[in-house]
Amino acid sequence: MGKILTFILLLLVVSISIYTPNLIRVYKLSNLYNEKTIAHNFINMDKVFIASEPIEPSDNPYIFEKDDFELPEKYSFEGSEHDLLEGLAHFKTDGLIILHDNKMLYEEYWNDNDKNSKHISWSVAKSFLSALMGIVLDEGLIDSIDDPVTKYLPEFKDTGYEGVKIKNILQMSSGVAFNEDYADPNSDINKFGRSIARGSPMIDFAKTLKNGREQGTYNHYVSIDTQVLGFLLESVTDMPLREYLYKKIWSKIGMESDAYYITDKTGVDLALGGLNATLRDYAKFGYLYLNNGNWFGEQIVPEQWVIDSHTPDAPHLMPNAGDDLTSSEWGYGYQWWIPGSPMTDFTAHGVYNQFVYVDPVSGVVIAKTSSNHRFRSEKDYSKAVHIAMFRAIAKHVSQQSS
| Residue extents of the structural domains in the chain | 31-401
pLDDT at 252: 98
pLDDT interval class at 76 (50, 70, 90):
very high
pLDDT at 196: 86
pLDDT at 138: 98
Taking residues 189-197, report their average pLDDT.
Answer: 89
Mean pLDDT of the chain: 94
3-state SS of the chain is: CHHHHHHHHHHHHHHHHHHHHHHHHHHHHHCCCCCCCHHHHHCCHHHCCEECCCECCCCCCCCCEECCCCCCCEEEECCEEEEHHHHHHHCCEEEEEEEECCEEEEEEECCCCCCCCCEECCCHHHHHHHHHHHHHHHCCCCCCCCCEHHHCCHHHCCCCCCCCEHHHHHCCCCCECCCCCCCCCCCHHHHHHHHHHCCCCHHHHHCCCCECCCCCCCECCCHHHHHHHHHHHHHHHCCCHHHHHHHHHHCCCCCCCCEEEEECCCCCECCCCCEEECHHHHHHHHHHHHCCCEECCEECCCHHHHHHHCCCCCHHHCCCCCCCCECCCCEECCCCEECCCCCCCEEEEECCCEEEEEECCCCEEEEEEECCCCCCCCHHHHHHHHHHHHHHHHHHHHHHHC
State pLDDT tens for residues 251-297. 999 999 999 999 999 999 999 999 999 999 999 999 999 999 999 99
State pLDDT tens for residues 207-219. 999 999 999 999 9
Name the CATH superfamily for 31-401: DD-peptidase/beta-lactamase superfamily (3.40.710.10)
Which range, 131-140, 186-195, 393-402, has the best average confidence (pLDDT)? 131-140
State pLDDT tens for residues 87-134. 999 999 999 999 999 999 999 999 999 999 999 999 999 999 999 999
